[in-house]
A and B are shown apart, each in its own frame.
Chain A
Amino acid sequence: MKGLVDKLRGQALLERLAAQDSEAFAEVYDLYVDRIFRYVVLKLPTQEDAEDVSSEVFKRLWQYVCDGTKVVDNLNALIYQIARNLVADYYRNRERKPTVSADDFPIEIADERQLDVVRSIEHGIELTQAIQQLPTDYREVVVLRYIEDLSTDDIAQIMGRTKGAIRVLLHRATQLLRQHLSHHDPARPQSEV
């Protein structure tokens, strides 16, 4: 039911965005800014990069919806898809410069404030480190499903996979994450996840 309400709300916002309603844009921003920033910051090396990319996500969303050449009916999926593409663009540009690949990039939460937030969460550091050790796709599904709380439908749309593929990916990602966490804490049994 909650999913349906969110979807309908998203559709109403999309309609208003397509009509170039700046108030609707402000509502979308308020609704998604924390989520998009969190999604991005867990993937990018610095808070500044995350802030820049997050801003760009909202700009692209406005352009995309106002362009009106494509039918959009899922705001959730669209906004995360834009964020995902921009993160990919970010790493592509970094590779050209060049540095390291996206998978190997050592994600660190450099910002003191964010570090404080993470530290304030029990086992926050271990969790973020375990997530960062996951391959890109695994990290993606774990973040979208368990942190961003998206449905498998939405995740399938964002990642361009089938729902079945997402479920398999999620299962494997959870197993791997459990292994990583048991390395951090050898006393933790794998079946606890």
Chain B
Amino acid sequence: MTLRDHNLKYELRRLQAITPRPEWKAAARQQLLMHVRATQEPVAAGARLRVHLFWHGVRRTVLQPASLLLVMLGFTLSSSLLVNAAYYSLPGDRLYGLKIGLESTQLAFARGNAKQAELQITFAKHRLNELAAIVARPSTSPEVKQAQVAETVLRLKDQVTSAQQQVRSLPEQGNSAFSLALAVDSDASELAASLNRRAKTMPPDFRAGIQEAVDSMESTSLSALATAISSTATGTDPVVDNHLADSLWDKVQGVQLRVEAAQQEARMLPSGDPAHAAATKLLVAANTLLAEASVAVQAGQFAVAVQAVAAAKDAVKTADLALAEALAVSANQESEVEVGATATVTDQLLDAPGETATHTQSFIPETTEEVLP
């Protein structure tokens, strides 16, 4: 067989047959091992070396690309899990502070009033979802729930109010102010309606605070609509006019529904009750204002309509307060009679309407003109 018949690489591998002399191998092994044993460090130094070796091992393991990748993956995963857990946390949870902190950070990094207003509305929607979740929580005591609802409602009001302030700080004229004001109007209105619906499913103790928040959101919505109207020239674009008119109609209807609900409550009081009389007077005034608002909408006088709706809303709100107080007094009186309260006490209450009536009287305006814009 000649050289040409062989594969060169195979031939080269055959040179692996070259080996050292066995006697040299053995002698060198012995000498080297003697040298190694002679140079071995004492035990104490060995311990130090082991520590050094341990850190070597750790460093080598940690610096492996796969290890680094795993560490980064773990960090990312745990961070995202934490943020995710925080996102679904509720007031009273450990991670709720982180959730609020993250929202504040997001707000701090948001550029411009428009972006901040949008974020405030988004966060207000989070609060709304939290309210429903708090009420549905089975393991929380009613007192704790009430406190958490109050805290959440307060935060919700603050956020909606902040959004409105951001809208107000935008330049009066311009598309951005108009579209943002419309967005805030629509979102705040929707939030108010949702909260109102949810309040009906909540225990009575929670409703008072929530009603306050609903009022606040409705006011914000109206205020945003007023901003939208003032930031655009009405009567030039039919699409814009239609949109504004629709929004105003919704508001007129919303206040009208509240007037009707208050009228029903007023009927529950005796007709001679001063609170009944005061509430009725306020509700009549509200209806008059709503009628004026309707005429203004039809005439395209949107600014006038907004003012009339706002005044009607205030009148209904005042009537609601008077009625709630009178109904509460009435309920107390009934319960006292039921448990056999003394006739003297009953007589005194009947003879003198007392502080409640005086207080209620203070709500009643002298004329309807007082509540008109």
| Chain A interface residues toward B at CB < 8 A | 15, 18-20, 22, 25-26, 29-30, 33-34, 37-38, 41-42, 47, 50-51, 54-55, 58-59, 62-63, 66, 68, 71, 73, 113-114, 117-118, 120-124, 126-128, 131, 142, 146-147, 149, 174, 177-178, 181, 184-185, 187-189, 192-193
Interface SS of chain B: helix, strand, loop or mixed? helix
Chain A residue contacts of B94, Cβ below 8 A: none
Report Cα–Cα, A128/B11, bound state, in Å: 11
Q: Is B271 an interface residue (CB 8 A)?
A: no
Q: Is B147 an interface residue (CB 8 A)?
A: no
Report Cα–Cα, A59/B37, bound state, in Å: 12
Known: A51-B21, A187-B4. 17 other contacts (CB 8 A): A19-B46, A29-B32, A29-B33, A38-B16, A41-B20, A42-B15, A51-B24, A54-B20, A55-B32, A66-B39, A117-B19, A118-B18, A121-B14, A121-B15, A122-B1, A185-B2, A192-B4
Are B8 and A181 in contact (CB-based, < 8 A)? yes
Report Cα–Cα, A185/B50, bound state, in Å: 58
Q: Which of B3, B25, B53 contacts A184 (CB 8 A)?
A: B3
A38 with B32, Cβ < 8 A, contacts A19-B49, A185-B2, A188-B3 known? no
Q: Is B35 an interface residue (CB 8 A)?
A: yes
Are A33 and B36 in contact (CB-based, < 8 A)? no
Report Cα–Cα, A177/B7, bound state, in Å: 13
Closest Cβ–Cβ distance, residue B13 to chain A (whole Å): 6
Which of B8, B28, B39 has the most A CB atoms < 10 Å from its CB? B8
Q: Is B57 an interface residue (CB 8 A)?
A: yes
Report Cα–Cα, A120/B14, bound state, in Å: 10
| Complex: chain A residue closest to B12, CB-CB | A146
13 A-B pairs whose Cβ atoms sit less than 8 Å apart in the complex: A20-B46, A20-B49, A25-B36, A33-B20, A34-B20, A38-B15, A41-B20, A55-B28, A126-B3, A146-B9, A174-B8, A187-B4, A192-B6
Number of A-B contacts (CB under 8 A): 134
| Complex: chain A residue closest to B46, CB-CB | A20
Closest Cβ–Cβ distance, residue A151 to chain B (whole Å): 15
Chain A residue contacts of B4, Cβ below 8 A: 185, 187-189, 192
Chain A residue contacts of B33, Cβ below 8 A: 22, 25-26, 29
Q: Is B236 an interface residue (CB 8 A)?
A: no
Q: Is B359 an interface residue (CB 8 A)?
A: no
Q: Is B115 an interface residue (CB 8 A)?
A: no
Q: Which of A38, A62, A114, A192 contacts B8 (CB 8 A)?
A: A192
A68 with B56, Cβ < 8 A, contacts A18-B49, A62-B39, A117-B17 known? yes
Are A71 and B59 in contact (CB-based, < 8 A)? yes
Chain B residue contacts of A33, Cβ below 8 A: 20, 25, 28-29
| Complex: chain B residue closest to A121, CB-CB | B14
A15 with B3, Cβ < 8 A, contacts A38-B16, A178-B8 known? no
A59 with B20, Cβ < 8 A, contacts A123-B11, A147-B12, A185-B3 known? no
Chain A residue contacts of B41, Cβ below 8 A: 20, 66
Report Cα–Cα, A193/B9, bound state, in Å: 7
Q: Is B139 an interface residue (CB 8 A)?
A: no
